[in-house]
Every structure is written in structure tokens, then in C-alpha cells.
Amino acid sequence: MNNSAKKITVSILGASGYSGAMALRILLRHPDVTVGKVFGTTAVGEKVHNLYPSLRGLTDMVYEEYASDKVADSEFIFLALPAGHAMNVVPEILESGKKVIDLSGDFRLKDPGLYKEYYKGDHSALSLLDSAIYGMPEINRKAIASTSLLSNPGCYPTSAIIPLAPLLKNNLIEPDDISISSLSGVSGAGRKSSVDLSFAEVDGSVKAYKVGDHQHIPEIESILSGEAKKDVTVNFVPHLLPAVRGIYTTTFTTPRKNVTSAQIEDAFHNAYADEPFVRHLGKQVPELKSVVGSNFIDIGWKLDKRTGKLIIFSAIDNLVKGAAGQAVQNMNIMSGFDEREGLL
Amino acid sequence: MNNSAKKITVSILGASGYSGAMALRILLRHPDVTVGKVFGTTAVGEKVHNLYPSLRGLTDMVYEEYASDKVADSEFIFLALPAGHAMNVVPEILESGKKVIDLSGDFRLKDPGLYKEYYKGDHSALSLLDSAIYGMPEINRKAIASTSLLSNPGCYPTSAIIPLAPLLKNNLIEPDDISISSLSGVSGAGRKSSVDLSFAEVDGSVKAYKVGDHQHIPEIESILSGEAKKDVTVNFVPHLLPAVRGIYTTTFTTPRKNVTSAQIEDAFHNAYADEPFVRHLGKQVPELKSVVGSNFIDIGWKLDKRTGKLIIFSAIDNLVKGAAGQAVQNMNIMSGFDEREGLL
Amino acid sequence: MNNSAKKITVSILGASGYSGAMALRILLRHPDVTVGKVFGTTAVGEKVHNLYPSLRGLTDMVYEEYASDKVADSEFIFLALPAGHAMNVVPEILESGKKVIDLSGDFRLKDPGLYKEYYKGDHSALSLLDSAIYGMPEINRKAIASTSLLSNPGCYPTSAIIPLAPLLKNNLIEPDDISISSLSGVSGAGRKSSVDLSFAEVDGSVKAYKVGDHQHIPEIESILSGEAKKDVTVNFVPHLLPAVRGIYTTTFTTPRKNVTSAQIEDAFHNAYADEPFVRHLGKQVPELKSVVGSNFIDIGWKLDKRTGKLIIFSAIDNLVKGAAGQAVQNMNIMSGFDEREGLL
Amino acid sequence: MNNSAKKITVSILGASGYSGAMALRILLRHPDVTVGKVFGTTAVGEKVHNLYPSLRGLTDMVYEEYASDKVADSEFIFLALPAGHAMNVVPEILESGKKVIDLSGDFRLKDPGLYKEYYKGDHSALSLLDSAIYGMPEINRKAIASTSLLSNPGCYPTSAIIPLAPLLKNNLIEPDDISISSLSGVSGAGRKSSVDLSFAEVDGSVKAYKVGDHQHIPEIESILSGEAKKDVTVNFVPHLLPAVRGIYTTTFTTPRKNVTSAQIEDAFHNAYADEPFVRHLGKQVPELKSVVGSNFIDIGWKLDKRTGKLIIFSAIDNLVKGAAGQAVQNMNIMSGFDEREGLL
């Protein structure tokens, strides 16, 4: 425990899903946190360890139905709700002076038109879109420290943006020729009953889905455009991998003329040498299992002289760096804790 | 194709589930069979290859809603319906002169009381219970040849009964001290949307279920009692295995006094040396993958002199020998075809 | 059995590996084939079913040490040897008047310089490089029919070339901006003892390997250049997938100016509507499990108007269409059998 | 960190294997431990994170060749060596006043004859066999606290002994009719290159091995005999499960006459209600994934009135409670730390 800090109380809405439960798991271990309440609409009245037996012995909490008076003593509210739900509760929570970390996509896009196009609905809290801060410490640490409304990045965007940001920022690659092929473990789809997600269908298979339509496309493009200070367009193809956890992203890019390996190496080094959760492997190729269970992102790359392409690899745990872990990292920054607290 | 036989027409009810679709797959390849119609309540109007893309190019059939006039030209009806449904259509089908192969548990138990206890419902075709023939060729080939109502064995019972039958028939093991631990691939639970069957829950895990309550217990006991000509009681513990297909069964038994390895070897040899789908491995231990995709059952065993127990291992593909393959084997017998036709 | 054809005798060198054993499996079922001998240096004297227990009951063959007199009565020799071995036995086999189907990479490249660069050794049968025919029926059927030295395509190239060939042939995509991301099941690495291929390392993981260095790169490029009648360059990134069988390939390409979906649709339709083992799904995305166990290749694609890219998906079973199945398809063509014999 | 305790220094021999690396992982997080040196014969000179990339960023240690002077400042030595190696280094380490935690089977059996029979070799440190303490806190906490030579239990024995001990101690089950069927994840076989452990062989399969011969049989029997104060004999069948981590054990036992569920419940409650790492689920069946990654053992059971058998289920992570976690639990006891330190 950070002795200079007093413990904060954190409650979680949507703690019955995989991301919310992972947030609970991490927060239970966090030396500076007391978990207040856990809410889960579909599991009201059930013990947490009935849904997540791995948590038996670590908590005796029971899922409750959310009501604002139940979180009166919470300083932080984690929202791990399905798309379109956070926007309905965030205004009231902010008004009561609490800080919000929203793990959904509700506050990631600044443009209501893009929101409507990709999330298929109208946004009910438009006035908050501008003040929400995108919570990726590697590019946005300072703004995170002072926000009350933290929009936690999507899993795919985390794996794609972190390696691409320094390349675009340093003008090393073309902004309009980026092709991203991502593989996600099944937990990325959430805790759902669905034939498509059943073991009998997923095991031994793989398939692409939502090709060119995925709601993470505008998120990736808008954040990268901000870093590049020009429009960035990406092709993005997600695939369902026969694994429970993790995202592995292979990205084909075109370096600008005369860009050298040394420049790429420098860009990554300068950007990330001091980042606590970025492991830059250089020419070594990452593998997925190295990051599963951790908040690390592993990055490797190869500049292929023969073809002229720069190919970049990145790996994260979708539930940790891609969701709950990054959320706690953000909470640490927002609270003045050591950024690694509870995450190593 | 068996030149002396004319082709028969076979239709399938419940062809949208895993067992029914596997029956379709096998029958499409069968040289003596024309597939008539396929029925599937939840998929009416859909092409078969929309549900089972592996069948694209092999059939253009469409799932229909069942009506008796649609099967007027079918000699055989395969029923791969959920428990409790076959009993409602069998009487009419039999009256129209067709032969039925029922893959469900509806006609496996002779005792309506046991049916009610284990299947939690009343039987609506009691008068047919006695005439239904249990379709396990290894113990019942003659009766199978002449029946019109074939009750196809359960998957777990197939894996348990075939190895135990010769031992009990020859009075080599105690009939009241049999402990069966079975591991089943997920497809055994059917094509279902369920959190419990999702990849994220099943992968990397294993668990027992329905301990002492499974509806296959009275099936195993009644068939084995018939073979032993005395009451047989079994402990039966099924487990969900992180695999798509197959059942692996480990059985602990107590040999009767002074029983030798040679006697056990003889019992298996005499019973099964000529069986086309039983592979007796003797002291070699079977492995599951050797039978996946085939109609074989592999059997191995060890008589442990130190402890006095006889431990038996058996492996089948739950969808083939444990369901559709055994059904086709039975159909071959009922039709006078070579028993292996379509199954090698 | 094709009644007009007499049975041919086929022997297999390297039948102890996964591809060779799969060839054996298919040939045992083939109505026009008698399997002669099976050779396997590392398994001499062992029964086939000791290495491949799934084949117990289907064959009693024993692995032998190869000697040319042992194949005197074989019309066809399948070579499923490690790289660099086929070239040493092919000359003698051809001289004795037999036909060869080589599943290795020894005769896939016409250019000895490329062979040396990517296979890291000198070629010992240079004079045969020109006469060897690349055995991909979809692009080369006529030449296949009359060759005695058939070089069977690599697994990755099969998945990449079949979808790209009609696009390049019809001048619909740029030949120098093709980025291929492929995922292969572990059996693609062969039957090997290696920590890297162990279940504990592979399960739940994924990683790229041999980025830009893989020996299948010159194979893909040279065949596609032939189809395009101009130089084709590809980026190729293979990944190890946590699955036993299958290859899933996602390819990013740039359509030439003003190319429409209809033109792409037509190109695929014209090329493949009559191909027995190509399933063109159009805008539907393939999934890996649909092809596992079959000789089909499934192809789907999407022209993304927003980004201007054409993204193509293809799936095969690496051991079947990617190796032994395609080899048998070629043998069927070379023998005048129905091309689908033994493969449906 | 326990403020009253000073940090101890711990070194690990065999830190390149799965158990040793897991010990390293846990100790790196342990607030009261400084890791001294890590030794690994097959990896001398390599960075730890080259073999275990998940540890990159957590340690920069390099594997060294063991020499006694390199551990001069270590209070504890963990030995995670292959069978037969610990006995050669333990005498010298003990003489130098250090404490040893041996994760191998070298010191688990008191009877040199049994050692020779099951481990196939002579024991070179017979004089230490008697003083070694079996490190299972649930049955042996007091003796653990004061030993210098701790023999850490085997993975299968941990899963079998903890649930059976209270039943035998309270004379509730017959000591000569216990049949144990265990399923182990592949990591239990160690970090090895072997065709049998390759993904292509293990995935989708399961098989029994070492039936009645496994070296954990005398360990289970001798410890349980001590608890029962009479001879206990067990049948034990291990199986290789298609999972990386964990052991799931299903045990069939015969209760003594008139034993009730309440007595069984009481036995477990009295033995384990206060144990920090035993989760007694009562009539609920455990599942493997609930314990993976933790030091917990989950226990459930069912008394089947119909058959008269008591069936017991237990689940552990083979690398944690079944190896490195239990080792650290023992180290905590031997050091006077909170027993849960570093393990929650």
C-alpha cells in the first residue's frame, strides 16, 4: 500500500460480465482500494462466486441491483455495461461528484454521427462527449490525471493504436495504407450464451467477422488521426481465435520514403522505453501467451526490405490491458497512486 | 454399392442437431442410400449448409417442417430429436410401414417407472416400449435384423456396455461393484446456446455433472443386467471434457475370485474378434483421438494384481459409434447391407 | 470404383509423417488404388497403427526401409519426405517408368538460385526442375494430366494462390501490393518432438514466425507471376494457430482503378464455378472448421469501398487440400480417374 | 510485507522447468522475499525471459550453472530438479545451514525399497529420508514449521490426499477400496520436447497412462496410511487432459457401514474450515478452471444412497497448489510469515 494515500472505495456496474469481473479481481488485490458494491442486472441476489467460482474465498459479495444511493461512499465507479447503457447513468454519477471509468464504447467517439453509424443508436449524453478523456496512458497520461470521465479504450484499439501511434506521430508511415488483422480470444465477446461461441463451434476453427464494419474502426482512426495530426484510414479485420483470452494483431504498413530501421527503433524507444506496461521487443516477434494474465502489451516489428513493407505485431490480454487492467492503470493515474499498483 | 441391394430412401427428423447432421453426413456418402428429406424445427427454410458449412457442395437440401406425407417414399426414418419427442411421432410412422431408428432415449428403457424417474415425464407410447429393440449390434444383432423400431443406444452407454458385457456374461466380475468415470466432448450436449458450453467456460477446464442422476444410468444397468442375467448396479460419473468430440470411459471393477488375465483376454476375444467395429487392444491403453471420426470402439484393460481391481478403458466418437454411426450400422443390419457400408 | 479403370498400385515414402499418413488414409479408401508399400525411416519395422492408432483395423501394413526393388509393382510413388530428400530418389524412380507425386518443396521452384536462398542448400537434380509440373488443378489441369513428375503445392501457397490467381489473371488487382496473413494449425509443422510445438506452449497462444523469410514466398510469387504474366510480389506472414489442422488466410489487396464487385464476382465465377473442390462463398466469410477433413477450399471476399481495399479470405485443411488430398486429386487426373474419387 | 519479518533470500535450482519458473513467478511477487539466483542446466547464460517471455519486465535474471558458493547468502533453496537429482545436492546445502524445499519425489518416500521400485534407481541420501518432512500444511503444519528439509508433495497426491485424509482419519471409509481417476494438464509432464506432448497429439484427445505403476501411488498410500493409522491401498489411474494446467481428481470410495452425509460434512468442516487454501464446496461439484492460477484446492462430494458409494471430487492447479504454490506456502510456515503471503 502506498502509505501516503488513503484507500479509495470503488464500485462496479456490470460486474457479472467478464470485464467487470476481471476489474473486481484486480481491485480485490489492489492495496489502495476497497471494493464498495458490485452490480449485475442479470445476477441480482447471487453471490459473486456462484458466477465466478475462482473468486470463492476472496470475496463474499453479492450482486445487487444498481441504485445511486448504494454508491454514496464510492469515489470511483467502474462501468462495464453493454454498449448504450453507460450514457444513461454517467450524468447522474458525475453530478454526485464521483469519478467514472467507463469500459464501454459510449464515450470513445467525439463525433455523434460516427457513434450512430457504428453503434446503431442515438447518443443520450451528447454534452459529455467532449469532456470524456480517452484513457490510454501511453498517449494521454496528463489529461487522464485530471478527468472525472474516463473512457477506457476498446480491446482491439489498444492493440492497434499503441504500436502505430509513435510511427504516425513521427511521420514514418503512410497514414492511408494501414491494414490490421487482429485475432481475439472468445472472452472478447463477453459472457454470453450463443451457439457461435460454443466450444463445439469455436474449437479447432477460426474466422473473420464484421469485416470493415467493426465499431472499433472509427475509434482507431480518430485516435490515430489525433496523433498523426492528419487523417488516418485503416483496414481492420477482426478474427475469432480458438483461445479464451488475448488479442494478437498483425499490421501491414507502408513506410514513407527512405525510412530506416533505426528510425523506427528510435520512435519506439523514445515513446515507450519508460512506459511501465509496454514491452518493445524490437525485431523479436511477440507471442500471445506471454501477455495473458498481465497488463503488458508486447510489440515487435520487421521492416521487409524486399517488399518495402513494415509489419508490426502486438499482443495484449483483452480483459486486462484491453479492458480492466488498463482501467485500473487509469484509476491509479487519476488517484495519484503508483501507476503499476495492483497490476504486477 | 452392394449390387444385389436396391437403394433405400432415408429421411431424418432433427437433422439440424449434431447427431442428426452427422447421420446426414454419413448417409450422403452411403452407396446404398438416397437421402429423402431433412427436417429441423428450428431451421425450417434454411439450407443445410448454412448451419453446417462443411456440407456445402455435398448437398443442397433445405430443412423442412415435418409432415408425414413428405416422407411417403422413405423406407427409413431417423429420429434425432430432443428427449420426449420421438414417442409422439413413432406410432404413426410405424403404422405407415416404415422402419424407425430413434437416436433419443425415448425407447431405451422397458420400465415406464424408470423412464419417468430419469427423464422427468410420462411416456406417451407405452405400448411400444416392449417391441423396441436396443440397437447395439455387438450384443443384439439378430433382434436388430428383424425389428421396425430400433432404439439406438446412448453415447455413454455404448462406451460402457460394450466392454462390460462379455465380462458380466462370463461371470468374471462382480455385478454390484462397478464404478464408471466417463469424459465426454462438448458436442455430446447438442447444438445449444448456453454459457456453460461456451468456449470461454469449457476450454482449459473439466468438471463432473449429474453425478448419480444421469439418465444413462438405468440404460446401462438394464442392458448389463440382461447380459449378466442378474442385477447389475453401476456408479456413473460423467464429466465435460474440453474437446469437441469423443467419449473416454475408465471403469473400475472387481474381478470374481481367482479370475485370471487369460480369462479376461478370452472373454474379449470370443466376444469381439469378429466384430467389425470393436478394436480390442488388450493391455494397451486406448486414446481418444484414435476413434474420433470413426465408428470404432477401442477397448483396453489392466488387471492390477497388487490391488485386485480390473480397470477397463474404452473410447468412442460420441457422434459416430455413440450416435449416428451406430444408427447407420443398425440400418445396414436391418436392410441386409454389409454392416460396414458407409462407415469405413 | 470407376469400372473402366483398372486399379493402380501406389507406394508412399515418408508415410510416418502427418502428410504421408494422411495420403495413406485417403488411398486406403480410394476405390481405384491398391496401396503397395509404406516407407518411413524413423519407424522401420513398426506397424502403421502403432504410430497412427486410428488406422488400426484399416491396414496391417508395416513401415519398411525404402529400396527401389520393393516398389517394382507400383505405378505411383508418393514422396512425403522432409525438404531436400525427394531430389535424391526421384531420378531413379522416374527412370524406372513410374510416376512421382512429390509433396515436398524440392521441385516447386524453377530457379535454382531461389531454391538455394530459401531452402538453404544446393539442388541435386537440377535437370528435372524444368520438367516438374506444379500440381494445382485449378490453374494447371492439362499439364498435370500428362506429367510423370508432379510437384504438389505447399499448404500456404494453396490457400493463397487459388483465390489470387483469377484476380491477377484478369488484371483486377495490383501485383505489387499484396499482404497475406496466414494462420496454420500445428500439424503443418510435421510430426515432431519440440518444446515449441508442445501443447503447453501452443494452447491459448498464437504467434507469427519466419516473417518475410518463409520458403513458401518464392513459390507463391513465381506461380502468381505466371498467372499474371508480370512480376508479383507478396508480403507473407505465417502464424502458428492453436488448432491441429487447417490454414486460414486473410489477404489485403489493392484493386486496380474502377474495379467493381461485379468484376470480382465474375472472375471467381468464371474460374471456379465448375471446380469440384473450390467453394466460392462470395461475400460470406469462410470459417476454418468447414474445410477441416475435406479437400475443399472455401473462398470469400469483401471490397471495402471506404478504404478501397479488397480483402480476401480462404480456408483449407493443410493436410488434405494443402497436401495429401491435393496429391490424390492430382493422381486422379494423371490416371484418368474421376477427379473426386476417394476425396468426397 | 509482514513488517516484523525481514526479507529472506531464496534461490532456485531447476528454474528453467515449469515448476521452477512458477516458483520464481510467485517469489518475485512475494513481499518478504528477495530472489537470489536461478539455476538451470539446460539454459545456462540465457535470460529468464527468453524461456518465459511472460516474465520480461519483471526480472532481468540470467540462468546460471549451480555452484554452492553462489548461494552463500540464500536462506532458502528451492529444488525443482528432475527425479534423482535433488538427493545429490541436498546434503551439502543442509550442512551449510540453509533450508531446502524439494519439489521432486526424492524425499517423499520413507521406504528405500519403494523408492527403488517406483523411481527405478538407488537413493544416494538414505540417511536423510527420515528427517525430511512431507510438506502438506493441511495435515502436517506443525512439523513443517521446524524442519530444514521440506519434501514438497506431488501434484496428484495433493489432489488425492487432502480430500481423503479426513475421511480416513475419522474412519468413515474403507481403507482398501479407493479408486482414484485423475486428469492432469500437460504442464504436469514438464517442459519437454516429445511427440506425445505435442499439440497435434494432445488436442482433442485424452488417455490414461502408467496405470497402476505411477510413482505417486506409494506416496498417496504411505501418507494416507499415516493418517488412517492402518494400511491404505489405492487404485490410481492418471490421464493426460487436453489442457495446460490443473488436476481434476474423481475418487470412488466405500463408506463404512451407516456413515451419514452429516458425518462426512462434519469431517470436512472440522478439518478444513480454517484452512486458508481449502475450499470445501460440499455437495457442489468443483470445476477445474476455478482453481487454475491459484493455490486453492476445491473439494466436493456426493454420497450416493442408491449404490452406497461416496464419490469425491477435487481440483488444483498442478503448478501452484500441486507444486510451486504449496512450496511457497510451506516456506511461509517455515519462515513464520503469514501462510497466505504471496499466494492470494
Domain with B41 in it: what CATH number?
3.40.50.720
pLDDT digit string, tens, across residues B148-198: 999 999 999 999 999 999 999 999 999 999 999 999 999 999 999 999 999
pLDDT digit string, tens, across residues A271-311: 999 999 999 999 999 999 999 999 999 999 999 999 999 99
Tell me the mean pLDDT in the region A305-319.
Answer: 97
Same domain, B175 and B123: no
Show the cell assigned to D250: 474423481
pLDDT digit string, tens, across residues A13-33: 999 999 999 999 999 999 999
Q: Report the C-alpha gap between C319 and C321 in whole angstroms.
A: 6
Same domain, C217 and C276: yes
List residues of C whose CB lies inside 8 A of any A CB.
179, 181, 183, 185, 201, 203-209, 211-212, 233-235, 237, 239, 241-246, 248, 250, 252, 285-289, 292, 302, 304, 306-307, 309, 311, 313
Task: Using DSSP, state whether C253 is helix, strand or coil.
Answer: strand
Show the cell assigned to C94: 522416374
Same domain, A119 and A201: no
Tell me the mean pLDDT in the region A142-162.
Answer: 98
CATH code: domain of residue A238: 3.30.360.10
Show the cell assigned to B293: 471420426
**Which percentage of chain B shows pLDDT scores above 70?**
99
Residue B2 has a pLDDT of 46
User: Chain B contacts of C289, Cβ < 8 Å?
Assistant: 54
Residue B339 CB contacts under 8 Å (≥ 6 apart), including other chains: B137, B276, B329, B332, B333
Start-to-end C-alpha separation, chain A: 13
Residue A247 Cα, gap to closest chain C Cα (Å): 9
pLDDT band at D5 (very low <50, low <70, confident <90, very high): low
Residue C90 has a pLDDT of 98
Show the cell assigned to D175: 481403507
Nearest to D21 by CA among C241, A281, C201: C201
Q: Which of A155, A172, A183, A240 is catalytic?
A: A155
Res B3 pLDDT > 70:
no
Q: Find out whether D340 and A57 touch, Cβ atoms under 8 Å.
A: no
Averaged pLDDT of chain A: 96
Q: Find out whether A277 and A322 touch, Cβ atoms under 8 Å.
A: no
Residue A308 has a pLDDT of 96
3-state helix, strand, coil in chain D (%, to 5): 35, 25, 40
Q: Find out whether D166 and D272 touch, Cβ atoms under 8 Å.
A: yes
Q: Report the C-alpha gap between A210 and B58 in whole angstroms.
A: 27
A38 is catalytic: no
Confirm whether A308 is domain-assigned: yes
Confirm whether D344 is domain-assigned: no
Q: Kindly identify which residue of chain D lies nearest to residue C246, measuring between CA atoms.
A: D200
pLDDT band at D322 (very low <50, low <70, confident <90, very high): very high
Residue D130, number of CB atoms within 10 A of its CB: 8
User: Chain C contacts of D18, Cβ < 8 Å?
Assistant: 200
Going edge to edge, which strands form the sheet with C133-134? C33-39, C8-13, C76-79, C99-102, C149-151, C133-134
Q: Find out whether D191 and D16 touch, Cβ atoms under 8 Å.
A: yes
Res B1 pLDDT > 80:
no
Give the predicted TM-score (pTM) of the model. 0.97
Pairwise CB contact (< 8 Å): A313 & C208: yes
Q: Kindly identify which residue of chain B lies nearest to residue D248, measuring between CA atoms.
A: B206
Confirm whether A343 is domain-assigned: no
Residue B39 CB contacts under 8 Å (≥ 6 apart), including other chains: B11, B12, B13, B14, B15, B63, B64, B65, B66, B70
Residue B90 CB contacts under 8 Å (≥ 6 apart), including other chains: B79, B100, B102, B106, B107, B125, B128, B149
The set of long-range contacts for B140-145, using a CB threshold of 8 Å and a minimum separation of 24, is B141/B333, B144/B330, B144/B333, B144/B334, B145/B333, B145/B334, B145/B336
Q: Report the C-alpha gap between B34 and B335 in whole angstroms.
A: 14
Same domain, C300 and C175: yes
Res A5 pLDDT > 70:
no
Give the type of residue at B118: Y
Confirm whether B25 is domain-assigned: yes
Residue D1 has a pLDDT of 44
Same domain, A30 and A19: yes
Confirm whether D1 is domain-assigned: no
Pairwise CB contact (< 8 Å): B344 & C58: yes
Nearest to B162 by CA among B326, B314, B318, B287: B314
Residue B142 CB contacts under 8 Å (≥ 6 apart), including other chains: none
Pairwise CB contact (< 8 Å): C203 & D204: no
Confirm whether B307 is domain-assigned: yes
Residue D6 has a pLDDT of 83
Distances (CA, A) of A37 to A1, A68, A74, A330, C304: 21, 11, 8, 20, 45
User: Chain D contacts of A287, Cβ < 8 Å?
Assistant: 53
Same domain, B275 and B138: no
Same domain, B212 and B311: yes
pLDDT digit string, tens, across residues D23-75: 999 999 999 999 999 999 999 999 999 999 999 999 999 999 999 999 999 99
Domain that holds residue C222: 156-318
Residue C244 Cα, gap to closest chain A Cα (Å): 7
Same domain, A12 and A135: yes
Confirm whether C1 is domain-assigned: no
Residue A16 CB contacts under 8 Å (≥ 6 apart), including other chains: A38, A40, A41, A42, A43, A51, A63, A191
Distances (CA, A) of D313 to D189, D234, D245, D299: 22, 16, 17, 6
pLDDT digit string, tens, across residues B304-324: 999 999 999 999 999 999 999
Start-to-end C-alpha separation, chain D: 13
Confirm whether B343 is domain-assigned: no
**Which percentage of chain D shows pLDDT scores above 70?**
99
Residue A6 has a pLDDT of 83
Q: Find out whether A58 and A47 touch, Cβ atoms under 8 Å.
A: no
| Closest Cβ–Cβ partner in A199, A242, A244 for B197 | A199
User: Chain C contacts of B300, Cβ < 8 Å?
Assistant: none
Task: Note down pLDDT in tens along chain C; length 344 residues.
Answer: 445 558 999 999 999 999 999 999 999 999 999 999 999 999 999 999 999 999 999 999 999 999 999 999 999 999 999 999 999 999 999 999 999 999 999 999 999 999 999 999 999 999 999 999 999 999 999 999 999 999 999 999 999 999 999 999 999 999 999 999 999 999 999 999 999 999 999 999 999 999 999 999 999 999 999 999 999 999 999 999 999 999 999 999 999 999 999 999 999 999 999 999 999 999 999 999 999 999 999 999 999 999 999 999 999 999 999 999 999 999 999 999 999 999 99
Q: Report the C-alpha gap between A178 and A220 in whole angstroms.
A: 11
Q: Find out whether C86 and C106 touch, Cβ atoms under 8 Å.
A: yes
Q: How many CA atoms lie within 13 A of A291 on its CB side?
A: 34
> How far does Cα C269 stand from its chain's mean position?
22
3-state helix, strand, coil in chain B (%, to 5): 35, 25, 40
φ and ψ of C322, to 5 deg: -85, 0
Q: Which of D23, D71, D90, D155 is catalytic?
A: D155
Res D2 pLDDT > 80:
no
pLDDT digit string, tens, across residues D112-151: 999 999 999 999 999 999 999 999 999 999 999 999 999 9
pLDDT digit string, tens, across residues D231-252: 999 999 999 999 999 999 999 9
Residue B6 has a pLDDT of 83
Distances (CA, A) of A72 to A85, B222, B267, C192, C263: 20, 62, 74, 61, 62
> How far does Cα B117 stand from its chain's mean position?
21
Averaged pLDDT of chain B: 96
Give the type of residue at B64: E
Q: Report the C-alpha gap between A11 and A78 in whole angstroms.
A: 6
Residue B193 has a pLDDT of 92
Residue A202 Cα, gap to closest chain B Cα (Å): 7
Q: Report the C-alpha gap between D245 and D189 in whole angstroms.
A: 10
Res B5 pLDDT > 60:
no
Which helix or strand (DSSP H or E) is residue D230 part of?
none
Same domain, B191 and B313: yes
Show the cell assigned to B174: 462382480
Same domain, A300 and A162: yes
ipTM above 0.90, yes or no: yes
Please state the domain count of chain C.
2
Give the type of residue at B205: S
Residue A1 has a pLDDT of 45
Same domain, A192 and A233: yes
Q: Report the C-alpha gap between D134 and D219 in whole angstroms.
A: 10
Averaged pLDDT of chain D: 96
3-state secondary structure C294-344: CCCEEEEEEEECCCCEEEEEEEECCCHHHHHHHHHHHHHHHHCCCCCCCCC
Measured over the CA atoms of residue B72, residue B75, residue B81 and residue B87, the dihedral's sign is: positive
Task: Using DSSP, state whether B168 is helix, strand or coil.
Answer: helix
Q: Kindly identify which residue of chain B lies nearest to residue A189, measuring between CA atoms.
A: B200
Q: Which of B199, B287, B312 to substitute to test the interface with D, most D CBs within 10 Å?
A: B287
Task: Using DSSP, state whether D121 is helix, strand or coil.
Answer: coil
φ and ψ of C101, to 5 deg: -120, 110
Going edge to edge, which strands form the sheet with C309-316? C207-208, C234-240, C173-184, C247-255, C309-316, C297-304, C278-282
Tell me the mean pLDDT in the region B288-300.
Answer: 98
Give the type of residue at D61: M
Q: Which of D42, D191, D199, D292 to substitute to test the interface with C, most C CBs within 10 Å?
A: D199
Same domain, D32 and D102: yes
